Amino acid sequence: MKQKFLQSIDGYMPELRGLSDDIFDHPEIGFEEEYACKLLTDYLKEKGFKVEVGTGTLPTAFRAEYEQGTGGPVVGFLGEYDALANLGHGCGHHLQTPAAIGAALAVRDNLKDVPYKLVIYGTPAEENKGGKINMVEAGCFTELDMVFSNHTGTHTGGSGTNVALASSVVEWTGTSAHAGGSPEKGRSALDAMMLAVHGLECMREHVRNGSRIHYTVMEGTGAANIVHPKAKAWVTMRATDKTYLEDMVRRMIKIMDGSALMTETEVKVTRNPVFYDTIVNKPLCDASESNARLFGFDDVMHLDEAALQYCGGGATDFGNVSYVCPGILVRAEYNKGVAGHSPEHVALGKTQKATDFIRECAAIMAGVTYDFVTDESFRTAVKEEFKYRLREKGVEI
């Protein structure tokens, strides 16, 4: 059966590669992916999926469904298609939904004797605002018994956890004055921002291993001979779990408040949605590895418990989905030796690497779907692992 899956995927590859190339040639940033959304949903409708657009209140999100029989397990596939501003597809998001579609088509075309439902979710804006967070809040994904995401990587198989991430926009408002003639009348927003940055640097020494603090100036403050009335910064914080991250954010806000207090300015902190850490599922990870080896793919990595819990530093809104239902982020080797979010990564977008990635991720996801749909003991193991990991995080079930 699994070899039939691979044969089906190979048959669809010209079309799947056409989709990915078209998305690559029309890069769109988060929440503006109108071209990609229409391209993908038109294709899914053509292939007989029941499609809705605007899922989870997001205009460029979609949900596509195929059901075989009734009452079977519900398997989800997530696909991203947003690009990076001023760079293009430097993170491989143009490949993800074609790979998800390839997996679903392979299962649909070949697995006929058991009931199941396949649901493909198009999920916008992973790179900036975290569209999956909006979708979780709107009640999406609760229907799923398990869910796949996929991403480019340096190895093939399953993937470990990711860090939690919180970002905030901080704005200071002061009082303008001539810096030489009447400085006593001014209250400097720039001074407040510089004090806040120093506070973050002091905080950096006193956070857990694996935590990160980043910041950037969003708007210039003006000439040197004035007391600056406005300043604006973006602050991003990462931690190995969302509970500790919230404590870091609490401390960050106190630093911002302190910077305003010291300079007699006003400060406003606007928080963006929090990207959760990813809850790993070892049975799903092991199944991804075993299917990758069964298909004979290269660069397959075994992830033991330590490797599964290694965060690495990256964040994704798939983490929020992983708190809703059991999930796995499948990887295929694509950018070994090449940094993500770089021109070098963009240069890979329409090479043989792209074809290999779609084919391998689609096959692994189809293979694991077969295991999940046909093996009740495997489904039970996946669900029990999910409950165990939630309890570890202190989440009530």
For 83-101, the pLDDT digits (tens) are: 999 999 999 999 999 999 9
Copy the structure tokens of residue 58: 């997001």
Residue range 140-161: mean pLDDT, rounded: 97
Residue 286: pLDDT over 90: yes
Copy the structure tokens of residue 101: 């579609």
Please report which confidence band the pLDDT of residue 221 belongs to, taking 50, 70 and 90 as the band edges: confident
Question: Average pLDDT, whole number, for the chain?
Answer: 97
Residue type, 203: M
CA angle (119 as vertex; 118, 122 as ends), nearest 5: 145
* Beta bridge pairs of residue 165: 238, 275
CA neighbor of 98 nearest in space, from 156, 39, 146, 46: 39
Measured distance CA(21)–CA(162) in Å, rounded: 28
Which residue segments constitute the domains of the chain, with CATH numbers given? 2-162+277-392 (3.40.630.10), 167-271 (3.30.70.360)
Residue range 20-33: mean pLDDT, rounded: 98
Q: How many of the other CB atoms lie within 10 Å of CB of 337?
A: 6
Q: How far is CA 50 from CA 67, 74, 251, in A?
A: 9, 15, 47
SS3 category, 46: helix
Residue 257: pLDDT over 90: yes
Percent of the chain with pLDDT over 90: 96
The string of pLDDT tens digits covering residues 179-204 is 999 999 999 999 999 999 999 999 99
pLDDT at residue 220, rounded to an integer = 78
CA neighbor of 14 nearest in space, from 358, 332, 386: 358
Residue range 23-40: mean pLDDT, rounded: 98
Please report which confidence band the pLDDT of residue 397 belongs to, taking 50, 70 and 90 as the band edges: confident
Contact 233, 170 (CB under 8 A): yes
Please report which confidence band the pLDDT of residue 130 belongs to, taking 50, 70 and 90 as the band edges: very high
Residue 9: CA atoms inside 13 Å, Cβ hemisphere, count?
28
Residue 45: pLDDT over 90: yes
Residue 312: pLDDT over 90: no
